[in-house]
Amino acid sequence: MTEAATRKRGRGTGGGAARRAERTAVRIECAPVITREVPDHEPLTEEALSIIEANAETVLQEIGVNVVENPAALALWRDAGADVQGERVRIPKGLARKLCETAPRVFTQHARNPERAVEIGGRNLVLAPVYGPPFVRDQAGGRRYATIADFQKFVKLGYMSKWLHHSGGTVCEPTDIPVSKRHLDMLMAHITLSDKPFMGSVTEPSRARDSVEMCEILFGKQFVAENTVMTSLINVNSPLTFDATMMGALEVYARANQAVILSPFIVGGAMAPVSVAGTLAQVLAEVLAGVAYSQLVRPGAPVIAGAFVTSIDMNSGAPIFGTPETAQITYGAGQLMRRLGLPFRSAGAFCGAKLSDAQAGYESANSLQAGLYAGVNFMLHACGWLEGGLVASPEKFIMDADQLGILHRLAKAIDISENRQAMDAIAEIGPGGHYLGCAHTQANFKDAFWRSDVLDYKPFETWFDEGARDSATLAAARVEKMLADYSPPPLDEGIRDGLNDYVARRKESLPDSFA
């Protein structure tokens, strides 16, 4: 069944229900992957880059990394030429970088809708939503534990967000489902409620295997064997530690030729030195070791070099966002990853703000701008993040997703076609004239300026008469409207049945566990 279904995947030709769904479906617009046509911001000099690269190699050779509770990984490292003492792996200078060479510089992650496939790496930027919050906050209900209903809501909003390329992974933790089973419901939500690419489970190797098997039902075994259909998030336990759970998931994905984001998780001052240059050396060392390991598992496995970086507030101990030092680390990491030739994951609409208020706006915009000009290739957390990642918010989700349109525009080269030079218009209007209504304006205004779909651009009086609403309140109204307008993308009934069977079978075999 799965093989047959595969050949029809995403084209909605599988059955009567799918055909009906396709006929009635609202056409959902999705902008292509961003291709940066403008220069990156590169604050580190050649000399600084060389120093940091040399320091990373020194860290790997002299300090090494811990590979915890993973004898097979230790054996792979020993065979590759590392000095393994207990769980400490010291990697001779140059070895990790050499091993990284087999990782692809660019790869394509497929989606069940072929139009939604994304090419990751090079000059591209792929945008994916928030990942991981155990709480949600919305205007109506305040802050509370997230549920699978919230999860599904975020997937729907992501599907309808035209600047967002990716459905993400754990857009929030569905805390009403046992941990042992929630990955199945999360995957079903991504697969059935959206047709954008998505991420797999990493909380246990068996859950990674479930993710691969569900993709085999969706895409077909053969297709999955030959193509990347998931990109999953493997955090390094910084500093310099690779734990068995995350590495176990990495091993599953790498063997299945599925992509992982190998990502140091850094709160500067806690998991890394309290300095930009020191943090960058550690991040690079961790990336080198982690990516190299993925290539030991399977040379050529697709991998994204990550850097989740925030800094700590030394007064409160809280992680803080949108700060200049995290931007500097993001810019510097971008330079280092480009030299390494790996796709780069970083940034997001980060904020420490508890509410979708001015603080949320400042911090998120600062982080998004840094991500764009740092040359990020895969931006997780591009929308919906609140309160240091503890909270996902639907209002913040659609406000951020709207702001992503700005990144799409800023990445493009400035058009200097004869039309855009507008010399005829300047001559026509002349000194003291007015361009509103002139032929050039009429011909060009529709796509001349990016326009927010969420923010308020009304005259004061109109805005006041309509209730003087702040942006979070306006966003809440838009969330309601989007969810009311939502209809799912068509899915082959055979595939849906196959997935439902799989999930039911797995749920039956797994204990209810909340750990």
What does the buried/exposed string (b/e) look like for 355-394 if buried means 16 or more CB atoms within 10 Å of the residue's CB?
A: bbeeebbebbbbbbbbbbbbbbbbbbbbbbbbbbbbbbbb
Tell me how far apart the alpha carbons of residues 401 and 39 are, in angstroms, rounded to a whole number.
23
Residue 284 CB, nearest approach to a copy of itself (Å): 11
C-beta of residue 49 within 8 angstroms of C-beta of residue 339: yes
Nearer to a copy of itself, 140 or 414 (CB): 414
User: Pairing state of beta strands 241-242 and 65-67?
Assistant: parallel
| 510 lies in the binding site for a copy of itself (CB under 8 A) | no
Choosing from 237, 330, 346, 377, the residue that interacts with a copy of itself (CB under 8 A) is 237
Choosing from 119, 176, 185, 325, the residue that interacts with a copy of itself (CB under 8 A) is 325
| 440 lies in the binding site for a copy of itself (CB under 8 A) | yes
Tell me how far apart the alpha carbons of residues 322 and 177 are, in angstroms, rounded to a whole number.
33
| 458 lies in the binding site for a copy of itself (CB under 8 A) | yes
C-beta of residue 332 within 8 angstroms of C-beta of residue 52: yes
Nearer to a copy of itself, 60 or 260 (CB): 60
Nearer to a copy of itself, 427 or 484 (CB): 427
Residue 116 CB, nearest approach to a copy of itself (Å): 24
Interface positions, 340-359, toward a copy of itself (CB under 8 A) = 352-359
| 261 lies in the binding site for a copy of itself (CB under 8 A) | no
As a whole number of Å, the end-to-end CA separation of the chain is: 35
Q: Which residues lie across from 84 on neighbouring strands?
A: 89
Tell me how far apart the alpha carbons of residues 9 and 31 are, in angstroms, rounded to a whole number.
21
| 70 lies in the binding site for a copy of itself (CB under 8 A) | no
C-beta of residue 168 within 8 angstroms of C-beta of residue 199: yes
Nearer to a copy of itself, 16 or 39 (CB): 39
Q: Of 385, 393, 352, give the one whose Cα is nearest residue 475.
A: 393
Choosing from 257, 366, 482, 489, the residue that interacts with a copy of itself (CB under 8 A) is 366
Residue 480 CB, nearest approach to a copy of itself (Å): 18
For tokens 């336990």, what's the residue? Answer: 237
Interface positions, 191-210, toward a copy of itself (CB under 8 A) = none
C-alpha 225: how far from chain center: 23
Residue 49 CB, nearest approach to a copy of itself (Å): 9
Judged by DSSP in three states, 91 sits in: coil
**Part in contact with a copy of itself (CB under 8 A); list of ranges 20-28, 252-260, 439-447, 506-514:** 439-447
Taking the CA atoms of residue 15, residue 157, residue 212 and residue 112 in that order, the dihedral angle to the nearest 10 degrees is 40
Nearer to a copy of itself, 169 or 352 (CB): 352
Nearer to a copy of itself, 297 or 429 (CB): 429
Interface positions, 463-492, toward a copy of itself (CB under 8 A) = 463-464, 468, 470-472, 475
Q: Which residues lie across from 236 on neighbouring strands?
A: 264
Interface positions, 288-317, toward a copy of itself (CB under 8 A) = 311-317
C-beta of residue 362 within 8 angstroms of C-beta of residue 356: no
Choosing from 422, 477, 483, 510, the residue that interacts with a copy of itself (CB under 8 A) is 422
Tell me how far apart the alpha carbons of residues 235 and 242 are, in angstroms, rounded to a whole number.
8
**Part in contact with a copy of itself (CB under 8 A); list of ranges 91-99, 100-108, 300-308, 453-461:** 453-461
Choosing from 43, 71, 299, 300, the residue that interacts with a copy of itself (CB under 8 A) is 43
**Part in contact with a copy of itself (CB under 8 A); list of ranges 36-44, 70-78, 103-111, 492-500:** 36-44
C-beta of residue 166 within 8 angstroms of C-beta of residue 127: yes
Choosing from 445, 465, 481, 505, the residue that interacts with a copy of itself (CB under 8 A) is 445
Residue 346 CB, nearest approach to a copy of itself (Å): 16
Judged by DSSP in three states, 310 sits in: strand
Residue 321 CB, nearest approach to a copy of itself (Å): 10
The tokens of 255 are what? 């063997």
Interface positions, 112-141, toward a copy of itself (CB under 8 A) = none
Q: How many CA atoms lie within 13 A of 201 on its CB side?
A: 24
| 239 lies in the binding site for a copy of itself (CB under 8 A) | yes
> CA torsion sign, 118 to 37 to 159 to 128?
positive
Choosing from 21, 106, 429, 510, the residue that interacts with a copy of itself (CB under 8 A) is 429
Interface positions, 274-293, toward a copy of itself (CB under 8 A) = 274-279, 281-282
Q: Where are the alpha helices (DSSP H) in 220-323?
A: 221-226, 244-255, 276-297
Choosing from 204, 241, 453, 477, the residue that interacts with a copy of itself (CB under 8 A) is 241
Q: How many CA atoms lie within 13 A of 11 on its CB side?
A: 8
Choosing from 66, 102, 108, 206, the residue that interacts with a copy of itself (CB under 8 A) is 66
Nearer to a copy of itself, 27 or 446 (CB): 446
| 414 lies in the binding site for a copy of itself (CB under 8 A) | yes
Nearer to a copy of itself, 66 or 203 (CB): 66
* SS3 track for 462-482: HHHHCCCCCHHHHHHHHHHHH
Nearer to a copy of itself, 447 or 508 (CB): 447
Q: Quote the strand ranges of 116-218, DSSP E.
A: 118-121, 124-127, 135-138, 142-145
Choosing from 444, 453, 478, 507, the residue that interacts with a copy of itself (CB under 8 A) is 444
